[in-house]
Structure 1
Amino acid sequence: MKLKHRIAYYIFGLTLGFFLVAFIFNKRGQDFCYLPNCRVLKDFKTKGLTISKEAQAKINEKWVTMEDIKNSLENGNVDFSKSNKLNPGGGKIYVIETITAKNEPVIFEIINHTDRAILKDIKKQ
């Protein structure tokens, strides 16, 4: 058998196997979340988010909503150059940059503890 036929069979088998595995794992509710941004946001979602008094005051001003916060945990971008710094009260501070439903850029500061996550502050950019 020629080399190019072997390579073609290999690529065909590899592609078929990939789709078979993707089809099986897709039914089980698995998702691809191995990148750092995705892992941090998934960690916040699984722990649940507690809102501090400072953040609640900003939410009460009505320029940011709870829906914006939920969307930021799905589609936000973690700024790792400003994140993963120790908080004086314990935990680490993470900075998430996102856009509200009104297309206004905002920054969420979240303190990540081992057992909980606290929305510390919300800032306009």
Structure 2
Amino acid sequence: MKFIQRLGYYLGGFSIGLIVLAFFLNGKKVSCDYGPEARVLKNINSKQLNYTSSHIADSTLINHVLKFGKVNFSESNTRKEPCGTYNIEGLYNADNVILTIENCDSIATIKKVKIEK
């Protein structure tokens, strides 16, 4: 069997597999969160959020930063017992927002919101 025939069979099977996957996964909320930053954000977003301060910013700002923000691991204390503390940085309406979140097993608590203009 020539190389071009083998390549044709491979590409044919590969394309059929992609079509089958697209059919089965169409409309489902499937994600591939393999990086540590994506896993932390997904873990925090899956929990109930509590607010400790009465002057916390609006929930739209917090949800936006939790969805599109970046985790600053150098400023975070991930090994703290019993709950790790994470600093999440993001932009919202041209303002730099830093959230300090304590991530426990069943609940995530927003400790501090810092907005820098």
> Structure 2 length normalisation: TM-score?
0.83
- For 1:52, the aligned partner's letter is T
Unmatched runs of 5 consecutive residues or more in structure 1 = 60-64
Q: Percent identity?
A: 31
- CA displacement 1:1-38 (0-9 Å, x = unmatched): 21132023213321331232133123333233333222
1:109 matches 2:107: no
- For 1:46, the aligned partner's letter is S
Unmatched runs of 5 consecutive residues or more in structure 2 = none
Question: Given the alignment, which residue of 51, 55, 58 partners 1:57?
Answer: 55
Structure with bigger strand share is: 2
Runs of 4+ in 1 over 4 A off after TM superposition: none
Q: What is the count of residue pairs matched by the alignment? A: 116
2:36 match: 36
For residues 97 and 122 of structure 1, the distance between their equivalents in structure 2, rounded to whole angstroms, comes to 10
> Structure 1 length normalisation: TM-score?
0.78
Contact 1:79–1:97 (CA under 8 A) maintained in structure 2? yes
RMSD (Å), alpha carbons: 2.0
1:46 match: 46
